[in-house]
Amino acid sequence: MNQYEVMYVIDPALEDGARVDLINRFSDLVKKNGGEVDRIDEWGKRRLAYAIQYKTEGYYVLMYIKAPSDLPRELERNMKIAEPVLRYLVIRYEGELPAKREPLKPYQPRENADAAPVAEAPVAEAPVAEVVDDEAPVSEAE
């Protein structure tokens, strides 16, 4: 059996129950065809790099599976048929599974009262070059 990494993006307008059913449908498909699901990571809603079907966000799901070599084709066929799936990618994965990624925390700006003042770096002055006047009158003594 080979290891595969399956990433797919679901329409964010899909309700929570329908989204869970879709994720379970793909994992059940793997189990019914002789594979096993190692881990499913739901990354949640993220902004897309470009609009897909006029949508700018998608719900990302990453799945690590062990399966026979004919399963990825069947999995891709089912993802292509599923209307809520915007994009999908199945690749063969070699090596150990990476550690589970922690979800991104929302950005929270620091308060100015707690922040220490930032010292400005000293600015070096540029050296002043002598100006040579080429059109200066030449003395007759020279």
d(CA 42, CA 103): 9
Spatial separation of the C-alpha atoms in residues 53 and 62, rounded to whole Å: 21
Nearest to 69 by CA among 95, 97, 35, 37: 35
Q: 2-91: what CATH class? A: alpha beta
Q: What is the pLDDT of residues 49-68, one digit of tens each?
A: 999 999 999 999 999 999 99
Amino acid residing at 87: R
Residue ranges per structural domain of the chain: 2-91
Backbone angles phi, psi at 91, to 5 degrees: -130, 155
Distances (CA, A) of 68 to 3, 21, 25, 138: 9, 24, 18, 94
pLDDT for 89: 95
Q: What is the pLDDT of residues 85-106, one digit of tens each?
A: 999 999 998 877 777 766 666 6
* pLDDT at residue number 16: 93
